[in-house]
Structure 1
């Protein structure tokens, strides 16, 4: 009963705030119902049995339930078409993957696969695999040295030290001056 009294107060408050509008009565009623339901949802009151006024907006894609507030008017993303995160997850099941390092099974949301391959089950496995070093031969002194794979991607890792790098460019500099 408190919820009904509160919804009547909210509807009256909304009506007073929008008295100057010159819109048709059906649109005002539809907007008022949306406003009341949005306010009730915001303050976590139990949902009342209010009949749906709008017929332009579909309900939740999973259960057909009522969509609240701005979600109804401005459905920008796929998630905006569901009444709750529970319904969204029910409609978008997780994808099973196997970790590249430890062979453990883990689940990934399909939207994550659009941005990255999801081949590790945890950060620990990522760091175990991602920090591997490769043995290289220095172009100057022909000595061997270890370097991270990620450095090789940036066209580096040709020399074991800065000293060898400097020695490799000195003949070029002296040749330019002569």
Structure 2
């Protein structure tokens, strides 16, 4: 039974042809060996060589040259001779040679230029290629994030819609610093509803103690914000509406909510 291949599709669990016959049946295509010219049958129509002996002979002839570091004689394929100016017999020779070629003034990190951080004004060194490539430079990722907020705000933002009026932007809360205000309120309150203690992700709102529309100067003031879960936020506005909201209202709402929880 060792001469037969196993098959779960058949009752006895084996194919009805032995391995030798199965292999012969797969030889469907007549091919011509590119090395010796022999006509032979293969499993694939684009087969090139009739045997293992013919295959190596078809490889491109290698060209003799010398290792660029130790001068040892080596053989390289023609395509690499034209593509690379230097050739090596081993990685050790390549690394040693590169170390000598790119040391001192030739090192790309040697000739760094002093630049100023766009955000904080701190001076730091930067590679010349990076200085020429970028218009703005930042000393840290934090400075980069802060700088990009100013560089790409308003009309400079790729998503800026010039057809929107300023009033419409305010209504949709598309004002500078608003998203940062939300994040700061959440971080201060440790991402927890200050009314019921809910800390589940994705259901938190940053609520304005003094409402957004009537208190323009307090829209991005962190002291005017408080974290509420979606349920508490909706219940607050059901009770007090969306106009003339005050800090006293939210304090009263939280006190009543916590008092009812304790009684229940």
- TM-score grouping bracket, smaller chain normalisation: 0.3 to 0.5
TM-score of the aligned structures, taking structure 2 as reference length = 0.28
Greater gyration radius: 2
Which protein has the bigger helix share? 1
TM-score of the aligned structures, taking structure 1 as reference length = 0.38
Which protein has the bigger strand share? 2
